[in-house]
Amino acid sequence: MQWIGYSVCVSLIFSLNAQERELNMDEAIQLAAKNNNSLEMARLEMSKADQQVREAYGNAMPSLSFDGTYTRALKKPVFFLPDFDNPDNGEVTPIEIGSDNSIAVGFTAIQVLFNSAVFTGVGTAKIYQKSSRELYRAEYNKTVSDVKKAFYQVLLSQQVYETTKASMANAEENFRNVKILNQQGIVSDYDLIRAEVQVENIRPRVIEAEQNVLVVTNALKILLGIDAETKVRVKGELALLEVDSTLLNAQTAIENNANLHALQYQKQVNREIATIRRSEFLPTLSAFGNYQWQAQKNSFDFAQKDFVGTSQVGLSLSINLFNGFQTSARVYQAKIDELKVEQQVRYTRESIKTTLQSIALRLEEAHKRVTSQSRTVELAEKSYKIANTRYQTGSGTQLEVNDADLALLQARLNRIQAVYDYMVTRVDLEEILSYHNPTQN
């Protein structure tokens, strides 16, 4: 019994401490932008592109290195001298050179004076940097689109739930009235049964709508990176926001679409890579210089006076005369990559045009449905009032009331669905236009 009481207390405390979070649309977008994995990967890709630009500049800068070697002679090298006393006998005498221990330390500097690949690489890295930012913008707009659709789905499910509950309340009110009239002997048992059946027919729809709110809210929480235990309450309502007709322009979409921009930059990158490959046919000229300190001794007691400094400067020229047609193959591969991206650019451009046409048709169709269903809701509300009045005065039937109630429910649900379809299509338009600018660059 004590354990049961303790468990109940723990459950009660956990329930009281359960966090409840209210979110509007903007807050949901900001949260998703912070927690979305794909967006984080796009941000990391931007950082990588920035470092590639630094690396490309570094290839054009001088390099400085420090080298140090220690050598222990196990057997010293020799050179041979002839027998000067008797040179005709052909005998030679080996003479050891060097010491048991030798040390050499120094600095070497190299500066590339001419290398087409180095200088072209800087421009290529900058183009890739721009491409990574366009890809980030595209991913950001996709994230915003996903969040808005999920958010509208929650608002839709909430309004469906409230509308179904309202219909349930109408049916229960009607049932109470019919029950009173039945007790007074004014209406038959058949009408009473019909009124009760109407209530029970709507009840499962209310339960289903309530459960659907939980399901879509959980889906939104996953998208936003919110813990499953956290309660979320979405603020706002599903209202119609008209689309500016000037946005339904193919040229505007092509000029603004981030994915298309990224592909165009990628095409430039591949063109530059082909140039870099061709530069392998060109010479590379570098300047170098080094300063070295050397010392040799049979013991380890080296002193500063034992080291001798040497220095030199010079030029290095390298020309690729033949490498088994590898350079030609690399140039051809880069050209093929450029042609492949060109095909993607053409396909994406045409896809934007056809998608925009589809969006325009969907917007028009959904808008017509909203207008039509708004009128239908007004008529259904009047019809329901008339049916109730007729039934109260004895000139109507319970069947008419039930039919009017169902018609009103369906009209309201149809209008909500039409508004939802319009707003989701609006979100698709915003995504194809890359309408939203990232809050973090």
pLDDT digits (tens, 9 = 90+) for 381-396: 999 899 888 888 878 8
Q: b/e per residue, 205-237, with b = 16+ CB within 10 A?
A: bbeebeebbeebbeebbebbebeeeeebebeee
| Cα first-last separation, the chain | 59
d(CA 418, CA 407): 16
Whether the predicted pLDDT of 305 surpasses 60: yes
Q: How many helices (H) and strands (E) does the chain have?
A: 9, 8
Q: Which amino acid is at 238?
A: L
Q: Sign of torsion, CA 366 372 374 376?
A: negative
Q: Which two tokens stand for residue 337?
A: 């990559």
Domain assignment of residue 141, yes or no: yes
Domain assignment of residue 91, yes or no: no
> What pLDDT is stored for residue 439 in this prediction?
65
Q: Which amino acid is at 338?
A: E
Q: What is the residue-wise DSSP string for 411-431?
A: HHHHHHHHHHHHHHHHHHHHH
Residue 263 lies in domain: 46-80+115-150+239-432
Question: Shortest CA distance to 396 belongs to which of 187, 183, 200?
Answer: 187
- Give me the chain's average pLDDT, please: 87
Q: Which residues have a Cβ under 8 Å from the Cβ of 18 and sit 6 or more positions away?
A: 229, 230, 231
Q: Which residues have a Cβ under 8 Å from the Cβ of 290 and sit 6 or more positions away?
A: 106, 107, 108, 109, 311, 312
Inter-residue contact 207 to 169 (CB < 8 Å)? no
Q: Which two tokens stand for residue 99?
A: 């010491």
Domain assignment of residue 258, yes or no: yes
Domain assignment of residue 252, yes or no: yes
Domain assignment of residue 399, yes or no: yes
pLDDT digits (tens, 9 = 90+) for 307-355: 899 999 999 999 888 888 888 898 899 899 989 999 999 999 999 999 9
Question: Shortest CA distance to 297 belongs to which of 125, 89, 70?
Answer: 70
CA 390 to chain centre: 59
> What pLDDT is stored for residue 8 in this prediction?
40
Inter-residue contact 76 to 97 (CB < 8 Å)? yes
Mean pLDDT over 171-190 rounds to: 86
d(CA 407, CA 428): 32
Whether the predicted pLDDT of 416 surpasses 80: yes
> What pLDDT is stored for residue 432 in this prediction?
94
Report the range out of 121-135, 164-178, 413-427 with the highest average pLDDT.
413-427
d(CA 121, CA 124): 5
Domain count within the chain? 1
Task: Provide the pLDDT confidence category of residue 12 given band limits of 50, 70 and 90.
Answer: very low
Domain assignment of residue 20, yes or no: no
Domain assignment of residue 329, yes or no: yes
Inter-residue contact 198 to 402 (CB < 8 Å)? yes
Q: What is the residue-wise DSSP string for 103-146?
A: EEEEEEEEEEEE-HHHHHHHHHHHHHHHHHHHHHHHHHHHHHHH
d(CA 116, CA 283): 9
Inter-residue contact 103 to 302 (CB < 8 Å)? yes
Structure letter (DSSP) for residue 74: S
Whether the predicted pLDDT of 85 surpasses 60: yes
248 phi and psi, to 5 degrees? Answer: -85, 55
> What pLDDT is stored for residue 389 in this prediction?
87
Domain assignment of residue 290, yes or no: yes
Q: Which two tokens stand for residue 348?
A: 């994406």
- Residue 271, domain CATH: 1.20.1600.10
Q: What is the residue-wise DSSP string for 174-207?
A: HHHHHHHHHHTTSS-HHHHHHHHHHHHHHHHHHH
Q: Which two tokens stand for residue 239?
A: 């209202």
- Answering whether pTM is above 0.85, one says no
